[in-house]
Structure 1
Amino acid sequence: MTPQDCISRLLGVRYEPAGNSFSAVDCFGVVELWYRHVLGVGVEDRSNHPPTHEGLQRGVESISNWEAVDTPQDHCLVLMQAGRLRNGHIGIYYNGHVLHADRKAGCCVCQKITDPAIQGSITGYLKHNENPTH
């Protein structure tokens, strides 16, 4: 699946905690679907982490096969602040945009990385070691 096809399929998909399908998705579900369908790469199993901001933060802190980068590249994870949690939300960087499941909007959205609504919440970027475009 091309990145644009994946974006088209995910835009507007309803938000659901622990969702990881093209009919219901949460922020980590976006990552799972992107890596599986666009890059053909599996990501860490999240079954040990509850589908909450706290669970995501614990998951981000324990992941392997990822490295921090200062400047995002296509397919990088975008780590974002969620409430009091530094890395409580996550999205995918592609072509100057962040694709993520927005709980407040109730669906998956794609915003410019320079959009003030998300720019101030970005805490870092991670590149997968198996990312074929790095």
Structure 2
Amino acid sequence: MGQLQEDHDDIRAAMQRFAALLTQGHATTGAAMLRERLAFSQLLQRHRADEEAQTQAALPGAPLAEAMTTDMQAILRDYSAHIGAWPPARIPAEWDDYCDAVHTLQRRLRMRLAWEERELHPRLTAA
């Protein structure tokens, strides 16, 4: 359980670092943004796999586990679509729209993390 919470803290910290880069503008942070984006993707994928494995082991076939998987798949699809829609060459020309899109995804993921901590983690601990 501790590792899942650490992952959540790391994910939030990564989102905060990225949001801070957005406030500085693309001209000064373009390369750093790409590094952060890649690191975030790797962290999220690793966490998702770990959490999925723990959930399936502790709550096999539970409706909560299935709902969690379905929701996370939707988030990952939307995140992948975001990455595809915002190649590095497009970002500078549409900076404000890009920032809005990032903030929208971040809000959604923060809500998801809070839901996991409130609904899923206690059940995993109990199992």
Q: Do the structures match in fold with TM over 0.5?
A: no
TM-score of the pair, normalised by structure 2:
0.30
Higher relative contact order (CA closer than 8 Å, sequence separation 6+): 2
TM-score of the pair, normalised by structure 1:
0.29
- Name the one with the larger strand percent: 1
- Name the one with the larger helix percent: 2
Q: Which has the larger radius of gyration?
A: 2
